[in-house]
Amino acid sequence: MTVRDTIIETQDLTKYFGAMVAVDGVSIKIQAGTLHAIIGPNGAGKTTFFNLLSGNLKPTSGKVFYKGVDLTGKPIHRMIHLGMGRSFQITNIFPNLTVHENIRLASQAMENMNFRLLLDTAKMDRCEQRTAEVIERVGLKNQSYLPARVLSHGDQRKLELGMILAPDPELLLLDEPTAGMATDQVPELITLIQDVQKSGTKTVILVEHNMNVVMSVSDRITVMHQGKVIAEGTPAEIAANHEVQTAYLGGLYDLNL
Amino acid sequence: MKNNTNVFIKNRGILIFFAVMLLAPFLIGLLEGSSPAVILNNRGSMSKFLEGLGIEIFILAMFALSYDLLFGITGLLSFGHSMFFAVAAYLTGIALKTMHLPFWQVVLLVLLVAVIQALLFSLVLPRVKGVTFTLVSLGLASVFHIIVMSSDMINLTGADVGLQGVPVPAFISPVSERLRFYVIALSLLVATFLFYRRFVASPTGRVCVAIRENEGRAKMLGYNTTLFKIVVMVISSLTASIAGLLHALYQPIISPGVADLGYTVMGLLIVLVGGVGTLSGAIVGAFALRLLDFTLRRYIGESAAIITGAIYVIFVLFVPYGIIGTMNLRQFKTKQGWQRLLGLLKPKE
Q: Which residue has the higher pLDDT, B127 or B183?
A: B183
Maximum distance among all alpha carbons in chain B? 68
Residue B272 is part of which domain span?
15-302
Q: Tell me how crowded residue B193 is: count the other CB atoms within 10 A of its CB.
A: 23
Q: Compute the distance between CA of residue B215 and CA of residue A159 in angstroms, rounded to an integer.
A: 18
Question: Which residues face A39 on adjacent strands?
Answer: A223
Q: Exposed e or buried b for every residue in B61-86, given b needs 16+ CB within 10 A?
A: bbbbbbbbbbbbbbbbebbbbbbbbb
- Beta-bridged to residue A204, according to DSSP, are A35, A172
Q: Which residue of A has its CA nearest to B197?
A: A118
**CATH number for B279:** 1.10.3470
Give the pLDDT confidence of B117-152 residue by residue, as tens digits: 999 888 888 888 888 889 999 999 999 999 988 888
SS3 label, residue B100 = coil
pLDDT at A244: 80
**B347 in a structural domain:** no
What is the rounded end-to-end Cα distance, in angstroms, of chain A? 26
pLDDT digits (tens, 9 = 90+) for B59-113: 999 999 999 999 999 999 999 999 999 999 999 999 998 888 899 999 999 999 9
DSSP, collapsed to helix, strand or coil, labels residue A226 as: coil
A101 near A94, Cβ under 8 Å?
yes
Compare B325 and B188 and report the one with higher pLDDT: B188
- Cα atoms in the 13 Å half-sphere on the side-chain side of A99: 25
CB pairs under 8 A between A and B: 91
Q: Measure the CA–CA gap between A232 and A244, rounded to whole angstroms.
A: 10
Give the pLDDT band of residue A186 (cuts 50, 70, 90).
Answer: confident
Using the predicted structure, report yes or no on whether residue B209 has a pLDDT greater than 80.
yes
> Which amino acid, residue B115?
V
Please give the C-alpha separations between residue B313 and each of A23, B94, B163, B278, in angstroms, as whole numbers. 52, 39, 34, 21
In a domain, B5, yes or no: no
Among the residue ranges A11-15, B89-93, B147-151, B343-347, the one predicted with the least confidence is: B343-347
Which among A207, A191, A196 has a CA at the least distance from the CA of A38?
A207
The per-residue pLDDT for A249 is 58
What pLDDT score was predicted for residue B124?
83
CB < 8 Å from A in window 206-235 of B: 206-207, 209-210, 213-214, 216-225, 228, 231
More confident residue, A216 or B114: B114
Query: Mean pLDDT across chain B, nearest whole number?
Result: 88
The answer to whether position B310 is within a domain reads no
Residue B24: Cβ-neighbour burial (10 angstroms; 0-12, 13-18, 19+): middle
ipTM: 0.83
Cα distance between the two ends of chain B: 47
Phi-psi region of B67 (alpha: psi -120 to 50; beta: other; left: phi over 0): alpha
Q: What is the CA radius of gyration of chain A?
A: 19
Q: How would you label A173-185 residue by residue, b for 16+ Cβ within 10 Å and e otherwise?
A: bbbbbbbebeeeb
Which amino acid is present at A191?
T
CA distance to partner chain B, nearest, from residue A53 (Å): 13
CA distance B232 to chain A (A): 10
Above pLDDT 70, what percent of chain A? 95
Q: What is the pLDDT of residue A119?
A: 82
CA A22 to CA B13: how far, in whole Å?
A: 58
Q: Cα–Cα distances in Å, from B15 out to B8, B76, B191, B291, B298?
A: 8, 29, 10, 22, 31
- Give the residue-averaged pLDDT of A60-87: 86
The domain total for chain B is 1
Q: Which residues of A touch B213 (CB under 8 A)?
A: 94-97
- Residues B83 and B205: beta-carbon distance below 8 Å: no
Q: Going from the N-terminus, what domains does chain A have, and what CATH number goes with each?
A: 1-83+203-257 (3.40.50.300), 84-168 (3.40.50.300)
Is residue B346 over pLDDT 90? no
**In this complex, do B216 and A92 lie within 8 Å of one another by their Cβ atoms?**
yes
Torsion of CA A103, A108, A114, A116, to 10 degrees: -100
Mean pLDDT for B267-293 is 92
In chain B, the residue whose alpha carbon lies closest to the alpha carbon of A127 is B203
Quick check: is B330 in a domain? no
Predicted confidence (pLDDT) per residue in A102-139, tens digit: 999 999 988 877 788 878 888 888 888 989 999 998 88
Flag whether B139 is in a domain. Answer: yes
Q: Residue A54: CA atoms inside 13 Å, Cβ hemisphere, count?
A: 29
Interface touch A122/B204, C-beta < 8 Å: no
Is residue A252 very low, low, confident or very high in pLDDT (cuts 50, 70, 90)? Answer: very low
pLDDT in the model for residue A2? 44
Tell me the one-letter amino acid at B250: Y
Does residue A257 surpass a pLDDT of 50? Answer: no
Express each pLDDT in B12-24 by its tens digit. 889 999 999 988 8
Asked if residue B203 is part of any domain, the answer here is yes
Residues A92-123, buried b or exposed e (16+ Cβ, 10 A)? bbbeebbbbbbbbbbbbbbeeebeeeebebee
Which amino acid is present at A118?
L
> What DSSP assignment string belongs to A7-32?
EEEEEEEEEEETTEEEEEEE--EEET
Q: Does the residue B26 lie in any domain?
A: yes
Residue B4 lies in a domain: no
Q: What is the mean pLDDT of residues B233-237?
A: 95
Chain B positions touching A159 (Cβ under 8 A) are: none
